[in-house]
Structure 1
Amino acid sequence: MTVSEFIRQHMPDATQLERMLWDENAGRSLSRLDAAPVNSSELRQVIRRYANGPQGPFGTERLDLFHETHELFEMLAKEAGNEGLTPYDLKNSFIGNEEADLIMLAASHESVSQEYLAGNVLCCSVNAIGERRTRLKDGVRIGNMCVQTDFGYHGEFKSSVHPICLPLNLSDVYVLLDALKSYEAAREAKDPHRLLCERISGMIHVQLSDYAKGILDSRFERKGHYFTDENPVYKDDQKSHWRWIMLEKSGAKVEVELIDGSVSVGMIAHSPGKREELPGLALKLDDGSVLSAPWVDVVDIRQAGERR
């Protein structure tokens, strides 16, 4: 029996392995590879080439392939002739070290234990998870980014981190930065949306090569767009405008303190102004009316009932 036949007979619900069998190169190789005794080195190589190539899965489906491959090796190890087969664990899989950090970050957006991450996500030891969490607390480099974050008592983040990696060509970068800078220019100076756009565009711009900057910067300058380069670092020390946006996206009831000392309670809403007007803060009050104020007059926004 070949590995291809073994998968189809014993793992009919393994969606990602089935897709791999339909790949021309991987499928051909696995249809020629005996399931027992299995050539473990060749099998790992075939899976790695497929998983890391353009035909391989992305996102959560890539993690599914890892889990299905882990299960495949467990099942193959039970076949006569495969005694002592080395398990397909994280350390000898197609998932790299930085990718494993990203997977753990994504899995930890909600409270999860180290035991769950070890047994159900990364297929590694609990100690290995603890070591990764310790490194993240100190700060780790992922590509050209730095992530420094701590896990709460139950394994959750104070604020979830979402590293995004995009293989863009220069035209893609131009459109993305132009959209961010145009949105930024349409907002008031103290608008938290503007401040975050400025930060995001700065983190993108600082990662560009001198070649890319040489082509794009003069074009943006003619449009009145300038960049404040900012190192692509994520830390838990949130600034006020980050917290304000967090309250807006959560739809929580908030208290808004203005420069005149007044405090109003409501939910942040879209600005009632016309499209061509600079949008300020719009707060929908309990009676249905809307309080509008320029962002420069906003002293603080906090969750309603929160102690100062």
Structure 2
Amino acid sequence: MASAEPSVRYRIGVDENGLGPRLGPMVVTAVLSRVTEAGWETAGRAPRGALAQRLGDSKQLVAHGDVSLGEAWARALVARGCGRAAAAAEPSSVDELIHAVALEDRAALRALCPGHVEAQCWSTEGEGFTAPDKLMRAIGRDLDKLADKGVEIVAVRSVLLCAKRMNDGVRAGKNRFVLDLHAMERLILELGGLAGAEVFAVCGKVGGFGKYGSAFGPLAGRLHLALEEGRARSVYRFPGLGEIAFVRDSDASDLCVAMASMVGKYMREALMERVARHYQRAVPGLHGASGYHDPVTTAFIGATRLVRRAREIPDDCFERRAAEGEAPLEGGGA
């Protein structure tokens, strides 16, 4: 007699990248995993052994100008059918990879783009993959080993919030933390629908909140129960959807959150590089910029001012506005 299939549960890891920069998008990414009872402990802890060298806190493993590791995770997941197009196929370009991971389709992502501004964020000129084949094979083996342990990754999605969308949110009274939270909610609803079952979602802490109920957006109005509310961890139960836990430093302590962070870091850097290359083609000798609050980014903003004015690039499509009373995040950030 054939043995019964092991009972499975669905686990989601969610994290943001680019919460505090001056330029470029904020990217919020979620990974959905199908987990057996035996694999549940593996999915809910930090990667160990050799895997920890390739999967963990993206701020430590992926840097501006060196995104090969994040790229490799994104490509490997899409090649295994985890992207928007369910068929398993290796993406042939950076643009194809970005749109395979993005939650929204091409038309929706460009809906707010004036025609003369679109090239700033969507030009594919000069971009290409950098992850070597050896690294791609290693990531493939990592995913195989996780599946053998009962952790199968089944989907990855990112919400892309460009400067224009961030600025529109500020005008609507939504600061970056609220926009981050609402993007997380959208992703959990989307991947919960794909799972077709209740999920357990672990998200990075948003804005140091202890209580989230009054700030929910897409989940507002849904019946829920607060199971725990504190500075380090807040947990909510939504009947029919599952549990959502907001956990401090979860990208360093939860495998699925770490994977979401790695993919999101790549998406953020790839999209910021498009902005940098766009203006480097117009300003001789211009250095690229990370987009964060640093001297190189400040110089980049100043050096491109005349070009942006001549091309009538709206400030809202280039630099983020801070919400009233909101202090900028210093340093590199996530």
Structure with the bigger RCO (C-alpha within 8 Å, sep 6+) is 2
- Give the TM-score range, shorter chain: under 0.3
Q: TM-score, normalised by structure 2?
A: 0.22
Identify the structure with the greater strand proportion: 2
Q: TM-score, normalised by structure 1?
A: 0.23
Identify the structure with the greater helix proportion: 1
